Amino acid sequence: MTRLRDERPILLVPYVWIGDFVRCHSVVKVLKERFPHRPVDIVSSTLCAPMADYMPGVRKAIVHDIPRRRLAYKENAELAAKLAPEHYGTALIMSRKWKAALPSYLAGIPERVGFVGEMRYGLLTDVRYGEKKLPRMIDQCAALALPKGAKLPKEWPLPEIVVPKEEIVAWRARVGLKETGRPAVALCPGAVGPGKRWPELRYADLAKKLTGEGCDVWVVGGPSEKNYAQLISANGRYAQDLTSNDLRNGILQLAAANAAVSNDSGLMHIAAAIGTPTVGLFGPTSPWHWAPLNPISAIIEAPWRKPGDNDVRNRTTEDIPVEEVFQATMRALKKN
- For the chain, the domains span 10-143, 165-335
Topology match between the domains 10-143 and 165-335 = yes
d(CA 119, CA 101): 11
d(CA 12, CA 38): 12
d(CA 225, CA 219): 9
- Identify the architecture of domain 10-143 in CATH: 3-Layer(aba) Sandwich (3.40)
Determine if the pTM surpasses 0.85. yes
Does CATH place domain 165-335 in 3.40.50.2000? yes
252: CB partners within 8 A, 6+ apart: 163, 167, 168, 171
Q: How many CB atoms lie within 10 A of CB 51?
A: 27
pLDDT at residue 3, rounded to an integer = 58
Write out the chain's pLDDT in tens, 336 residues. 445 788 999 999 999 899 999 999 999 999 999 999 999 999 999 999 999 999 999 999 999 999 888 889 999 999 999 999 999 999 999 999 999 999 999 999 999 999 999 999 999 999 999 998 998 999 999 999 999 999 999 999 999 999 999 999 999 999 999 899 999 999 999 998 889 999 999 999 999 999 999 999 999 999 999 999 999 988 778 899 999 999 999 999 999 999 999 999 999 999 999 999 999 999 999 999 999 999 999 999 999 988 778 889 999 999 999 999 999 999 999 977
